[in-house]
Amino acid sequence: MLNFDLNRMIMVLPGILLALTVHEFSHGYVAYQLGDPTAKNNGRLTLNPIAHIDPLGFLMLMFAGFGWAKPVPINPFFFTDRRKGTLLVSLAGPASNVIMAIFLTLFLGVLIRFLGSPGYLIQQFFMSAISINLVLAVFNLFPIPPLDGSKILISLFPSRFEQTFYQMEQYAFIILILLLFLGVIRRVLFPIVNTLFNLLMILLMAVI
């Protein structure tokens, strides 16, 4: 049963909006730099979080601890090297969340080092935002369509396997929901996230 906690919702909301926005903007920005204007033409090359929110994915992040945003439209035929372009664009989202988590950790460390304790609410915001960015990064690396990991996997496999992947995609959402329901995703996701979070806490203590 979902446990609705208004205080927690208020605390995690900014971190969720930040993580989703950075993730999707990065997809669109890298695609644009590689010659694909599709995201820009669809109003997705923006830091406005409203443009990137997927209602279901947003609610999942709020209540379940993992979720997704509205996919940025990409046309790989604009890329000079279609497979390499797809790989770079797919990696951009998760990579941007990891970079954001590192930046937030360093920024919090600097605040504590030079200003003392930033206060409970500010510190909790940073911790929440760091965790959410890590969750979004790791979750999207699962090789299940429509997550980024599936596109990364397709880009790394020989082109003759592409059709097989695309045929499997029609069942992907059912598979994803089933894995979520059975707790398989959670059992794999959170140990990785916890390990990364602990590494960032080591970094935080080094800065302090």
The residues assigned a catalytic role are: 24
The residue type of 136 is L
Rounded (5°) CA angle 109-128-14: 105
**Is the C-alpha dihedral spanning 80, 84, 90, 93 positive or negative?**
negative
Query: Residue 37 is encoded by which pair of tokens?
Result: 């204007």
Mind giving me the DSSP string for the chain? -----HHHHHHHHHHHHHHHHHHHHHHHHHHHHTT--HHHHTT-SSS-GGGG--HHHHHHHHHTS----PPPP--GGGSSSHHHHHHHHHHHHHHHHHHHHHHHHHHHHHHHHHHS---HHHHHHHHHHHHHHHHHHHHHTSSSTTSHHHHHHHHHS-GGGHHHHHHHGGGHHHHHHHHHHHTHHHHHHHHHHHHHHHHHHHHHHHH-
